[in-house]
Each structure stands twice: as structure tokens, then as C-alpha cells.
Amino acid sequence: MKNILKINKCLISVSDKSDIVKFAKSISAKKIDIVSTGNTYKKLKQEGIKVKKVESITKFPEILEGRVKTLHPKIFGGILGDVNNVRHLKDMQNHKLEKFELVIVNLYPFEKVIEKTNNIQKCIDNIDVGGPSMIRGAAKNYNSTGVVIDKNDYKEILMQIKNYGGLTLDLRKKLAYKAFYRTMQYDTKISVWMSRNILDKEYSDLLISASKPNKLRYGENPHQAASFYSTTKNKSTFFEKLNGKELSYNNLNDLKLGLKLTAEFSSPTCVIIKHAIPSSVSESKDIKSAWDRAYMADSLSAFGGVVIFNKKLDEQLARKISKVFLEVIVAPSYTEKALKILRKKINLRIIKIKNIIKLVKTFEKDITFLPGGVLVQEVDKFKVSINKLKVVTNKAPSKKEKEDLVFAYKVVKHVRSNAIVIAKNKTTVGIGSGNTSRVDSVQFAIIKAKRSFLGKRDNLLGAVMASDAFFPFSDSIKIAAKANIKAIIQPGGSISDNKVIEETDKEKISMVFTGKRCFSHY
Amino acid sequence: MKNILKINKCLISVSDKSDIVKFAKSISAKKIDIVSTGNTYKKLKQEGIKVKKVESITKFPEILEGRVKTLHPKIFGGILGDVNNVRHLKDMQNHKLEKFELVIVNLYPFEKVIEKTNNIQKCIDNIDVGGPSMIRGAAKNYNSTGVVIDKNDYKEILMQIKNYGGLTLDLRKKLAYKAFYRTMQYDTKISVWMSRNILDKEYSDLLISASKPNKLRYGENPHQAASFYSTTKNKSTFFEKLNGKELSYNNLNDLKLGLKLTAEFSSPTCVIIKHAIPSSVSESKDIKSAWDRAYMADSLSAFGGVVIFNKKLDEQLARKISKVFLEVIVAPSYTEKALKILRKKINLRIIKIKNIIKLVKTFEKDITFLPGGVLVQEVDKFKVSINKLKVVTNKAPSKKEKEDLVFAYKVVKHVRSNAIVIAKNKTTVGIGSGNTSRVDSVQFAIIKAKRSFLGKRDNLLGAVMASDAFFPFSDSIKIAAKANIKAIIQPGGSISDNKVIEETDKEKISMVFTGKRCFSHY
């Protein structure tokens, strides 16, 4: 075994003292000298472990309420001295520097403290200075020093000392990497906190650090590698999986859109997603009829889809659903009987998300990589409201039409631009998405509506239409009129608004403006 | 003026010594004592500036080839001592600690060195330990210490010393934030470098830090805030703007897709993008006919589009283009006369990107935020090649058909799934994008093709069709046959492949498999 670093002396300075006594006892039994600071020293001493104070080496007391303890050449010489370097060895002899082959340090709990208090001074007191300095020094010198910042590594350290009498180079390298990753993480937290708490306005630098990657089978296509990185401390995901295979990249991407769309509704609603586009949506008096309507609205697209419910799923509904091939089902809860039925499909991913509306509030930003940079925007938080609609035509929509218009606008916000949604009885009957021209989306939404659930032309009778942006021309209105659309919702804002309203009046259709465009290209 | 910190003593230890002499002279003239390390000391001394050595305070020499210079309680006491704290003041008196109110430090150029050398030891030697310790200490103690890590701040420091006799609290806070942002950035670089260079396999933690945000007018919609953050050191963007308004969020997003698509081609090609979807593409013998064909292929969608050329744009082409309302034009270069013509449209954004293929190679990852995490995938790097097509039907496509098939597949890769592209003479004539069902995309692509440039049904005669994923059923083949499609390209891989091939044979259409699916949902 090559490149084993024998451990003679160990420096321990830990804020989180769990497991440290056991660890120190074990290395002490291996005749390793232990040097320690303040409270760590006290704790080890109490437990009867042989330990020396840092001050016995520095001949300098702890000062400034502990701000300066280890920042001394006698300590850092022992950390940074490279025993493979003759000039280093000479300096170490001349200045009687004792080598620390092992440095065990964890940091003041800045991250935890800022979550508990708004007291600025208390937070600042918990910014560790000596700790990161020791960690960084030891990590730089991984050739001659092992550095441990994570108590989960104690076991492996002890095993290597037991088996090899010291640490392998491979382990020291891994520990060094972990050390710099830790200081990076720590200073990321500090700089974000500072920008939010001590500066007048939040600095807008972009900092994203995520770890614990959960490797996915692949990305959008089998030849693309992909991972889901966690930005939370615990490994828990935002959902609970009750059955089926792991969620794929495309499932997660569909889920994102589906959850955002579902969060628009509080009444019982069923949303069906395919290829990150809603294929149909229905809001109804109960969740069972929401499914019936949504499924019938576009049963062709529902095949292999991701289906999201915002209410508890029961046995009766489970029976209905299980007749259709689906990839993913999401609901806030399930009855035991419903689960039993659904679990018969061993591949079906059954997902539980308790509070979709609350979860979606955590979506804050959209992000896109460009060469040499990152494009970031706030998510679209606009909520369409029935009270704020502006009627612009001679004819006003009826109360029922207004409700359908608001429903359709909530959906169209999440359909890829150019987006058109035709709806009736709070159910989508035709969705035109991702077209380069608005009039195409109108035309294609109508084609889809005609083959929709009733299977008859009068499907469209009494239907309403939503557009995610203004109509640049009145051609779309003419096509809508021919298809029997009776009311239209759109943001307005075109220089051609007057012409478009004129045409709409001529066709005896009512039209309302929301004032807010809702383009969406993801 | 409140909260001014009077500066009596300044510690200077800089690796990048530009502007430091001028700065030191200015503060020295204000009777501020200067203490300095190694080479910084020498440089200032040479210039006749009054300066003391760090060793004169620590009474301890530089050791370990400069690894330990300032890591001493006499120095860190002076940095970390809070003069508003009586216990600190007492310690400082007892131990004769001299207070540094100002700390000027910049770091060993680790970032630059790793770009120049693969020598591991040289890189490690350039990991600064003392510097970040001083910076972090001074930043923590911004109540009593000013910390400067950026020479661009020298001017403001001097101005405040001149005007107020010291530094304001606001400035000290901003400097402290910048300091922690710097150490975060530095350790990010180190941990990424370590994971790539000293570990067996690259650790897959995700680290993104971007700064210098360029605020955009708004995001996808006017009510969404948005910024473009730079990940490069210099402020330069990946494009050069020769005319027109700033690029909007949607322009940048369109550009991203457009560049990726354009990079598929080396022959003269024109790509037109609307709503982050290609509305038409043509590859031709020269760039002028590429424009003519692409424009005619879908002139309805081209209105207000983003147009990308991969060859120089001349006067003749500029005249043609300027007849159409466009938002953005991109080309690798322009003749003077072409520019003169295009610049008459004052709002038209004229963009120069020298080497689109090289630029697109810098796209490495796609990223999406989810609650508590980030979804990351490698970009799709699959290149379709004429030599690797697998003919699966009795009939094989002709040479010309094969070329059209490859062209269509290059385009369909960048159309939103479910994606269908119908092409003829290396020009798209119908694009079906973003539908929840594949057969809808086929149907809608054909509708578009029928109104395309020739304006006749025989538009489709001899046309070919590309699908971004396999056909689950043979319905699409029947529809394609009716529309006179003569050859089809698709990845294959369905359990229904045999049935689909059978149907294709029956319709006397030829079909090739690429073996690689190309879903795209962004």
C-alpha cells in the first residue's frame, strides 16, 4: 500500500461535538497525540482523554472572546508544513513546529443560527474565521495532512488507521475536496445572508450550489446524462412516491408544469400533461367528474400522460383511472382502497404531494444558460380574477361565460406560446400550443375541439376562447366566429385592438381584456 | 456623518500589485501607517513609501516558503479586534495589539494559474491560505475594519478618507459583502478544480456563480423582472450589437434556440425563429437563396421574427430582408453597404456572431428549477449523419431524398416535441410543433405545408418527413401518404415498429431509422 500518511498528532477543534469523544478515544488508544481548543479540550478532558491545549503550543492565550485561538504560526506551521519538502522540514526543525497529520474541524453553525435569529450581531459572531483557515490550510496540504470536516468520515478514518496505520492518498484527496466544497458552501451562505441583511438592497449576484445529486436514468433522450441536485439539507424530495418506477427526467419536467397549472385552482381539478403541455384540464364540483371531463376532452393525448388531482383520490376514481395507461398520478392523498387498486399496475408512479399550492409558491425563478451567462427571470405570478376583467365589446359575457373565460385564461397561461385554449363548462375542449403564428393556434385548437368529448360539432356551441397574447389581426376572430365561439379573453394591447374589437362586435361575440400578457416558452 | 471609521493603520498584502503604489502613496500622505508582507513590502519600499514589515509586529519570520506569514495573533488580533467591544479593547491593550482599520488583500492568482498549467503542484502552491483568512476576518469585523479585495475600490476609499477622514459604515458593509463573495468564488474554483484534477472521478456537485447582472427591461412578460448574469470575467457578451434596441429576454431565448439549430449546418443556411420555435429553415447553395426559400416557406410566421444567417450578409440580401418586419438579424459578418441599408431601421437589432458553431459548443447543460432542487442534463449532442441511416423499408430513399431527410432531422431536433418537419429541397415546408399527440403534429405540419411557398398542393409532392420520436401507431403514415410524402426519417424503437414499417411499405414510402430520439421540451 503506497502513500500512507502515518498519523502521530491530531488537532481537534469542533463546534458540533457529536461523536467526537468516541473518535478521540479511538485515536488516543492508537497513541495519537491530541491537541485541542477551548470547549473541545474541556469536553475531551472530562471524558478522561489525554489531550493538550492549543495554548501549550502557541504560548499565547485565546483572545477577543475566542476570535483568535489557532491563528498562530506554531499551529499553521504544523498544518501547512509539507514533510516531503526539505525546506519545509528545515523550517519546522528551526522553529520547533510539531506536525499535525490530522486536522478535525467543523465550523460555527452560522447556517443554523441565521435560521433561528434576526439578531445581526449574533449571526456575525457565528461567522467562523479560524475554522475555515485551518480547513483550507490542511486541504491545501493534503500531501502531508488529512482534514476532516464531516463526522460521517470518522468511521473511515479509524478504519484506515487501524488497517494501514494511517490515511491513503486517495482518502486525503477526497477529504481535501470535501473541505473546499464546505468552505465554498459556508461562504456562499454568508455572502447571500450579508446581501440580504446588512446591505441596503439585496445584491443580485446569482449563487446556486446544489449537491447530493440523484442520478437519473437519462435526460430528455437516452443519450443525454441527467441528474436531480438537491438544494435542501435533508435528502427528502418534494414528493412522496407510493408506487412504481423512479420518476424520469421528462416526468419531473411534466410535473413541474402540471403543478404550476394545478395551483391555479382550489376547486376540484384534474390536469393532464403530455410533453410538458397541458393536453386537457377540467375544474368541476367533484374530483371524479373533473377526471371524466378532462379525460374525454382529449383521450388521445391522455395516453401515457401525467395526471394531477388536487383532491383526495378514492376507490371509485381509482377504478376509472386504472382503465387508462398513464405514467404518473399525483394527488394530495389516497384512500387505502384506491391505492390497492392503483398499485396493481407495478410501473405506475403514484405520487403524493400534500399541498400543491404551497409547493408551487416555492417556484421563484426561471433560468436558462446562454454562452458566458445565465438568463434569469421571476416566474409569472399573475392571477387572473373575474372582478378585474375589462369588457371591451358591446356585448358582455354572461356570468357562466365569465367563469369559463377565467378558467380558460388560467390554463392558457401554462400552454406554450402562441397559445389558444377553447373551453366549455370549465373544461378545455381544444388547446392550440407552440405555434409560430397565433392564427394557426386558433385553427388547430378548433380542429381538436371538433373531435373532443361530445364528438359533435355543437361541442363548440357556447364555448369560449382564451389567447395568451393580443391578436395582431382580426383573422382569428373570424375563424372563432365560424366555430361558434361566444366569448373571448385576451390581454389586449395591440395597435390593432380597435379593429379586432370592431370585428368581434360584428360577429356578436363578447370580449374581455385581462391587461396582462402570459407568454410562456418553456 | 455618522459611523465613520477613522483609518490609522493599514495592512497591505497583494498578489496583484497594479495601482497599489499610487494608493499607498495617497494614504501614506494622510499619515496612515502601512504594514506589509514580503514582495508587497519590497515594492512599496522601492517606491520610497514609509512601510513596516509584518515581521516587525509578529517577531516571527516568514516560514514554509511563504505559506505562513500573517497567520499570527498579533496580526489577526489587529484585524478581528472590535473597538466597540470593551473586552476586545482590554485584550488589545494587554497584548499590545495594534488595530488595522484597513486591510488591503488580493489573492494568489489560482484561477489564472490553472488556466495556464496542468502542473498539479504549481496549482496547489497558488491556493492562498493567509489571504482568505485575513479577508474573512476583516469582513466579519466590518464594524471596526474596512476590507478591500478589488483595486477598483481604491478610488472610493481614497475619496472617503479625503472627505470624511475615514470609511462610512455603508461602504464597510458593501466591502464586507464583496469580500465574502470573493472567497466564495475562490473556493468554488478550487473545489471544482480539485474534483476534476486530483480526484479519480469528477464530483458532480453543482456550482453556479454568476455576477455583473445586466438588468433586462423585463422577462417573458412585462410584469416579470429579468436579468442576464455574466459568468465570464470581462463584461463582454457572446454577441456584438451593431444596431437597434437592447435584446429582450424573448430575443435572447429565441437566439439560443436559433444558434443551436444554425450550428447543425455548414453550408449557407437561413433560420427563422418565432416564439423559440423554428418557423422555417433553408440550406442552400448561397445565403440569398436560403433566405428566399426560408422566407417563402412561412412568410406568415416570419413577421417579427429572429433571423440567423451563417454566411456574410451583402447589400443585395440586405435589400430583400429590409422589406420584411423583423426583430433581430444575426450574421457572422456584414458588408458596409449591407449595414448601411439595414441600419435605416433604427429599431432592428443587428447582431454579429463570428463563429456560431464554435459558440454553440460552449452550451453544455440544460437546467430547470424544481422545488428543493435543480434538474440538470447534458445538451443533446447527437449529430445525424447520412452514412448511418438504416433503411427499414423495401424501398430506399434516393440520394436527394436522403439529403432532404438528414436536413429535416437536423431541424426536427430543435422543434418542440411532439415534432414533425416536412421538407423539400432542403427547405422546411411544414413544421408541426408542441402537440400533445404525434398524429396532430403530422396533420398540422401538412396543413402548413399546403399553404407554403408554392401555394399549391404539389408543394408536398416529393417532400420528406422527419419525426423526433417513433410513431406509436401507423395512423401518421396513412396521413403522410395521402399528402404525397415520399420518404420518412425517425429514430425507431417502438414495439409497433413492424406494423409501422408494414404500413410504410404498403404506401410505397421509404423509411430510415436514426436510432436516436430527439425529444426537446424547451
The number of folded domains in chain B is: 3
* Contact flag A231-B382 (C-beta cutoff 8 Å): no
Pairwise CA distance, residues A80 & A141, whole Å: 6
Taking only the tens place, the pLDDT of each residue in A42-92 is: 999 999 999 999 999 999 888 888 888 899 999 999 999 999 999 999 999
Contact A113, A157 (CB under 8 A): no
Q: Which residues of B touch A450 (CB under 8 A)?
A: none
Which of A172, A197, A222 is the C-terminal boundary of a domain? A197
Interfacial B residues in 492-521 facing A (CB < 8 Å):
516-521
Q: What is the pLDDT of residue B518?
A: 97
What CATH number does the domain containing A345 carry? Answer: 3.40.140.20
- Which residues of chain A are modeled with pLDDT < 50? none
For residue A438, the distance in angstroms to the closest alpha carbon of chain B comes to 9
Of A173, A372, A521, the CB nearest to B232: A372
Q: Does B127 touch chain A (CB under 8 A)?
A: yes
Which DSSP category does B69 fall into?
S
For this structure, is A288 an active site residue? no
Section B440-460 average pLDDT? 80
For this structure, is B521 an active site residue? no
For the cut 60, the answer to whether the pLDDT of residue B456 exceeds it is no
Taking only the tens place, the pLDDT of each residue in B205-236 is: 676 767 667 888 899 999 999 988 877 655 56
Interfacial B residues in 215-254 facing A (CB < 8 Å):
219-232, 236-238, 249-250, 252-253
**Distance set, CA A349 to CA A308, A370, B5 (Å):** 12, 34, 62
**Could you give the residue ranges of the DSSP H alpha helices within B198-312?**
249-262, 287-297, 299-302
* Contact flag B76-A129 (C-beta cutoff 8 Å): yes
Nearest residue of B to residue A123, measured between CA atoms: B140
Q: Does A201 touch chain B (CB under 8 A)?
A: no
Which of A197, A221, A249 is the C-terminal boundary of a domain? A197
Contact A433, B433 (CB under 8 A): no
Taking only the tens place, the pLDDT of each residue in B58-81 is: 998 888 888 888 999 999 999 999
Sign of the CA dihedral B251, B257, B263, B268?
negative
For the cut 90, the answer to whether the pLDDT of residue B344 exceeds it is yes
Q: Is residue B378 part of a domain?
A: no
The reply to whether A325 and A442 lie within a common domain is no
Q: Which three cell numbers stand for residue B297?
A: 416557406
Taking only the tens place, the pLDDT of each residue in B495-517 is: 999 999 999 999 999 999 999 99
Q: Is residue B228 part of a domain?
A: no
Taking only the tens place, the pLDDT of each residue in B242-295 is: 999 999 999 999 999 999 999 999 999 999 999 999 999 999 999 999 999 999
The reply to whether A501 and A398 lie within a common domain is yes
Q: Is residue B379 part of a domain?
A: no
The reply to whether B350 and B391 lie within a common domain is no
Which of B197, B221, B256 is the C-terminal boundary of a domain? B197
The reply to whether A183 and A257 lie within a common domain is no
* Contact flag A220-B67 (C-beta cutoff 8 Å): no
Q: Does B198 touch chain A (CB under 8 A)?
A: yes
Strand arrangement of the beta sheet that strand A146-148 belongs to: A52-53, A33-36, A9-14, A102-106, A146-148
Contact A204, B213 (CB under 8 A): yes
Q: Is residue A128 part of a domain?
A: yes
Pairwise CA distance, residues B146 & A3, whole Å: 44
What count of other Cβ atoms lies within 10 Å of the Cβ of residue B364? 10
Sign of the CA dihedral A481, A486, A490, A494?
positive
Element (H, E) at A58: helix A55-58
Report the complex ipTM: 0.78
Q: Which residues of A touch B222 (CB under 8 A)?
A: 517
Q: What is the pLDDT of residue B480?
A: 96
Q: Does B190 touch chain A (CB under 8 A)?
A: yes
Q: Is residue A443 part of a domain?
A: yes
Of B80, B371, B381, the CB nearest to A363: B371
Task: From A39, A61, A56, select the one nearest A106 (Cα to Cα).
Answer: A39
Q: Does A455 touch chain B (CB under 8 A)?
A: no
Interfacial A residues in 289-348 facing B (CB < 8 Å):
298, 300-301
Q: Does B95 touch chain A (CB under 8 A)?
A: yes
Of B124, B378, B437, the CB nearest to A219: B378
Task: From B331, B380, B381, B384, select the one nearest B355 (Cα to Cα).
Answer: B331
Active-site annotation holder among A45, A275, A312, A395: A275
Strand arrangement of the beta sheet that strand A373-378 belongs to: A365-370, A373-378, B226-230, B206-215, A206-215, A226-230, B373-378, B365-370
The reply to whether A462 and A327 lie within a common domain is no
Q: Is residue A519 part of a domain?
A: no
The reply to whether B244 and B188 lie within a common domain is no
Q: Is residue B172 part of a domain?
A: yes
Residues 6+ apart with CB under 8 A from A257: A273, A276, A277, A278, A414, A522
The reply to whether B266 and B176 lie within a common domain is no
Of B187, B219, B277, the CB nearest to A184: B187
Which DSSP category does B388 fall into?
G
For the cut 80, the answer to whether the pLDDT of residue B51 exceeds it is yes
Q: What is the pLDDT of residue A454?
A: 54
Pairwise CA distance, residues A167 & A150, whole Å: 16
The reply to whether B20 and B158 lie within a common domain is yes
Q: What is the pLDDT of residue A203?
A: 58
Section B371-394 average pLDDT? 93
Active-site annotation holder among A140, A151, A174, A345: A140
Residue with cell 430583400: B320
The reply to whether B9 and B113 lie within a common domain is yes
The reply to whether A100 and A24 lie within a common domain is yes
The reply to whether B259 and B391 lie within a common domain is no
What CATH number does the domain containing B121 carry? Answer: 3.40.50.1380
Select the residue from A11, A54, A60, A68 to test the B interface by mutation, using most B Cβ atoms within 10 A: A68
Q: Does B86 touch chain A (CB under 8 A)?
A: no
Q: Which residues of B touch A204 (CB under 8 A)?
A: 213, 227, 229
Select the residue from A98, A114, A173, A184 to test the B interface by mutation, using most B Cβ atoms within 10 A: A184
Q: Is residue B300 part of a domain?
A: yes
Residue with cell 395597435: A495
Interfacial B residues in 392-431 facing A (CB < 8 Å):
416-418, 431
Containing structural domain, residue B291: 239-360
Of B194, B210, B277, the CB nearest to A176: B194
The reply to whether B346 and B401 lie within a common domain is no
Cα B348 from chain centre: 24
Q: Which three cell numbers stand for residue A280?
A: 386537457
* Contact flag B374-A231 (C-beta cutoff 8 Å): yes
Of B198, B380, B519, the CB nearest to A177: B198
Size of interface A-B (CB pairs under 8 A): 428
